[in-house]
Amino acid sequence: MREHVILAESAGFCYGVQRAVDLAQRTAEETRGCWMLGDLIHNAHVVEDLARRGVRKTADAGALGKGDTVIIRSHGELKEVLDALEEQGVACVNATCPNVCRIQKLVAQAEQEGRQPVIIGEPHHPEVRGLASWCAHPLVFDGPEAVKMWLAENPKNRETPVTVVSQTTCIRELFETSWKIIKKECTNAKKFDTICNATHKRQTEAASIAGKVDVMVVVGDRKSANTKHLTEICMRRCPRVLQIENADELSPDFFDGCSVAGLTAGASTPAGIIKEVYATMSEEIKAAEGKEESFEELLNQSIKTLNTGEKVTGIVTAITPTEVQVDVGAKQAAYIKLSELSDDPTAKPEDIVKVGDEIETYIVRVNDVEGYAELSKKRLDAQKVWENIENAVEEKTVLEGTVTEENKGGIVVSVKGIRVFVPASQSGQPRGADLSAMIKQKVQLRITEVNRARRRVVGSIRSVTDEARRAAQEEVWNNIEVGKHYTGTVKSMTSYGVFVDIGGVDGMVHISELSWSRIKTPSEVCKVGDTLEVYVIGFDAEKRKISLGVKDHSVEPWDVFMGKYSVGDVANVRIVKLMTFGAFAEVVPGVDGLIHISQIADRRIEKPEDVLSEGQMVDAKITAIDEEKKKISLSIRALLAPAVEEAEEEAPVEE
């Protein structure tokens, strides 16, 4: 059956919009009525439906007070409005798209770092106005011409450190063109690609469909920026483009002479409206065709002409020990040899296809005399893989493969049956590392070079790992705060502390923060590769330095000691330092006591090391506790010679 309307897979609600609508509906049910500031999303039908559910609309945030609940729209809100709502005691349910929240943080962080935030987008759009409010002096440009004007105004602008972001629904070409100008002219420019992936996918798919159809229909609210951008993109590829809000706006005249039409929709368009438009379009196009095709015409159209080298789709009708038979709607009988079914010689045909399956194949040979056609699924699969590999270079797609061997100068990764050479420098491993250890590992990589004629493909694992590392580092720096806890991994050790990876960023734990016990080297308590629970003591975002701690300061060692021991108790202690006048011993981690030289043995000794050594465990009696000065006197002698007179003067505690 011929397809009259091609519907974009990405049409309709994106994740952020769906999340906002779900939050609003749920909040309305839980609170028995709540508010939204302006339209929650750019779609009048959805806003009306929310109103029926108890989500009332107001444009005056100042009219709300304690006891009210307000939903913050998916585009985000002005920071000063959010601050005012908090002061008024209004309960806020933040339905701002997570992508928009990320840009708000980037803009605020840029200004904190002394950089000039630059936003590429529509200056009057609610999202852009909201983003701009997260810094004191934003610059908003609607495209490359505005960027050029700013640079021309003052030569010193070129020396300004800038951080460039974009509206989530910005047309990619507009953003990239603006960035190229800034990158070329400015001496210190940083870019964050903040165009929503769903938006980019939607725009790319719309452009692709528009280039294949006679008519293109775009559905969405007229106030929606992403719908307007979709319309602009489609108009570049299709001569007849119509933007509508619902099926009522469709006219039969619009589809005159149209045999196939395309349909896409903005991110704020609900599925019900899309479905209604799709059905109406299909009926209008059928009616516009204006005639019934004869049985003979239908029969002739149903019989395909097969040509060697073309793709053909058919239905599996039988599976035999030697071949798979396929009905391709042609006069010739078509079949696939088992050797042409799959690259895997051990694969069973019934595991790959089943009777009744639709299968796309490549025509190897057509024999009109004997009335058969040889097909190949394997060759078509290989062709598709090569096409995907070639597209991956342009689109910088991340692919997954398995390392199969170590080669001269690098490794080989199998990506869907294609051998991809990865140079050692792009393997993501340190120089001189044993690359054979990577064999059989699954890895992610980007394709950097393809020569299909020579069947040569080169890739890079490092570009993916570096990007992931940078993303992880940005995540850490965007959310780090004093007191925050992390589970980290010990990366390296020095005499004065250890460096711990807390997610792509290394922080330093000074030796004094590793343990309450006295230690001489970090190796006494940890080693490279160990997992440590750490918390942030302090950080310098500009210098990219983080100080971490391991010791739990919520537990005071002296309180632990006092809760466990009293004068007269015997403790098993560790000798931590030998002095001329005695030895210091650890009673509990972080609390030491003094064993005076006169209390080490039941005889006179010249120096403590004649009897004791550092690290030695001994039993000692607690003879005195000075709570005010937090000092403890210990005695080994008291356990060796219990008959010593109690009246004997205690040796003073020294340090």
Closest among 636, 573, 567 to 608, alpha carbons compared: 636
| pLDDT, position 596 | 93
Q: Is residue 202 part of a domain?
A: no
- pLDDT reading at 646 higher than 50: no
In this structure, the answer to whether residues 522 and 565 fall within a common structural domain is no
Q: Given 466, 490, 509, which residue is the final one in a domain?
A: 466
- Strands laid side by side in the 139-141 sheet: 139-141, 116-120, 162-166, 189-191
- pLDDT reading at 49 higher than 90: no
- Can 400 be counted among the known catalytic residues? no
List beta partners, residue 583: 578, 595
**C-alpha distance from residue 507 to each of 360, 485, 514, 531, 544 (Å):** 54, 12, 13, 13, 9
175-193 average pLDDT score: 92
Question: Quick one: pLDDT band at residue 140, thresholds 50, 70, 90?
Answer: very high
| pLDDT, position 85 | 92
Q: Is residue 263 part of a domain?
A: no
In this structure, the answer to whether residues 88 and 103 fall within a common structural domain is no
592-600 average pLDDT score: 92
Question: Quick one: pLDDT band at residue 460, thresholds 50, 70, 90?
Answer: very high
In this structure, the answer to whether residues 562 and 635 fall within a common structural domain is yes
Question: Across 249-253, 283-287, 578-582, which has the greatest mean pLDDT?
Answer: 578-582
- pTM of the prediction? 0.42
Rounded Cα–Cα distance for residues 213 and 7 (Å) = 11
- If you ran DSSP here, which 8-state letter would residue 134 be given? T
| pLDDT, position 514 | 86
Answer for the pair 412, 422: CB distance below 8 angstroms, yes or no: yes
Rounded Cα–Cα distance for residues 646 and 504 (Å) = 61
- pLDDT reading at 180 higher than 90: yes
Residue with tokens 């465990």: 617
- Strands laid side by side in the 69-72 sheet: 55-58, 34-37, 69-72, 91-94
Rounded Cα–Cα distance for residues 247 and 231 (Å) = 17
Question: Across 14-28, 233-247, 639-653, which has the greatest mean pLDDT?
Answer: 233-247
Question: Quick one: pLDDT band at residue 295, thresholds 50, 70, 90?
Answer: very low
Q: Is residue 299 part of a domain?
A: no
Number of domains in the chain: 6
Residue 244, H or E segment: strand 241-244
| pLDDT, position 554 | 61
Rounded Cα–Cα distance for residues 583 and 611 (Å) = 10
| pLDDT, position 382 | 78
| pLDDT, position 88 | 92
Question: Quick one: pLDDT band at residue 290, thresholds 50, 70, 90?
Answer: low
CATH of the domain at 188: 3.40.1010.20
Answer for the pair 76, 127: CB distance below 8 angstroms, yes or no: yes
Of 48, 77, 122, 127, the catalytic one is 127
In this structure, the answer to whether residues 187 and 108 fall within a common structural domain is yes
In this structure, the answer to whether residues 539 and 578 fall within a common structural domain is no
In this structure, the answer to whether residues 487 and 519 fall within a common structural domain is yes
In this structure, the answer to whether residues 417 and 497 fall within a common structural domain is no
427-454 average pLDDT score: 88
- If you ran DSSP here, which 8-state letter would residue 492 be given? E
| pLDDT, position 647 | 39
For the four alpha carbons of 101, 103, 106 and 111, in that order, the dihedral sign comes to negative
Beta-carbon contacts of 465 under 8 Å, excluding residues fewer than 6 positions away, are 428, 444
Q: Is residue 65 part of a domain?
A: yes
199 or 420, which is more confident: 420
Closest among 1, 562, 90 to 282, alpha carbons compared: 1
Q: Given 164, 195, 226, which residue is the final one in a domain?
A: 195
In this structure, the answer to whether residues 88 and 114 fall within a common structural domain is no
What values do phi and psi take at 67, rounded to 5?
100, -20
Rounded Cα–Cα distance for residues 521 and 169 (Å) = 54
Rounded Cα–Cα distance for residues 99 and 219 (Å) = 23
Percent of the chain with pLDDT over 90: 34
Rounded Cα–Cα distance for residues 15 and 9 (Å) = 14
Q: Give first-to-last CA distance, the chain, whole Å.
A: 95
Q: Is residue 499 part of a domain?
A: yes
Percent of the chain with pLDDT over 70: 94
Residue 287, H or E segment: helix 271-289
Give the burial string for 54-90 (b: 16+ CB within 10 Å, else e): bbeeeeebeebeeebbbbbbbbbbbbebbeebeeeeb
Q: Is residue 212 part of a domain?
A: no
Question: Quick one: pLDDT band at residue 294, thresholds 50, 70, 90?
Answer: very low
Q: Is residue 615 part of a domain?
A: yes
Q: Which of 126-130, 368-372, 438-442 is predicted least confidently?
A: 368-372
In this structure, the answer to whether residues 104 and 179 fall within a common structural domain is yes
547-576 per-position pLDDT tens digit:
998 876 667 888 888 888 999 999 999 898
Answer for the pair 135, 162: CB distance below 8 angstroms, yes or no: no
| pLDDT, position 255 | 84
CATH of the domain at 607: 2.40.50.140
481-533 per-position pLDDT tens digit:
888 888 999 999 998 999 999 888 889 999 888 888 778 889 888 999 999 88
334-356 average pLDDT score: 82
In this structure, the answer to whether residues 578 and 532 fall within a common structural domain is no
What values do phi and psi take at 351, rounded to 5?
-85, -15
| pLDDT, position 553 | 66
Q: Which of 47-51, 383-387, 420-424, 615-619 is predicted least confidently?
A: 383-387
| pLDDT, position 478 | 87
CATH of the domain at 20: 3.40.50.11270
Closest among 18, 26, 71 to 46, alpha carbons compared: 18
270-275 average pLDDT score: 88
Q: Given 175, 195, 215, which residue is the final one in a domain?
A: 195
Q: Is residue 567 part of a domain?
A: yes
| pLDDT, position 504 | 82
In this structure, the answer to whether residues 331 and 358 fall within a common structural domain is yes
Domain with 545, as residue range(s), is: 480-549
Rounded Cα–Cα distance for residues 23 and 41 (Å) = 12
Exposed/middle/buried for residue 303 (C-beta within 10 Å: 0-12, 13-18, 19+): exposed
Exposed/middle/buried for residue 187 (C-beta within 10 Å: 0-12, 13-18, 19+): exposed
Rounded Cα–Cα distance for residues 99 and 106 (Å) = 11
163 three-state secondary structure = strand
In this structure, the answer to whether residues 19 and 108 fall within a common structural domain is no
List beta partners, residue 618: 573
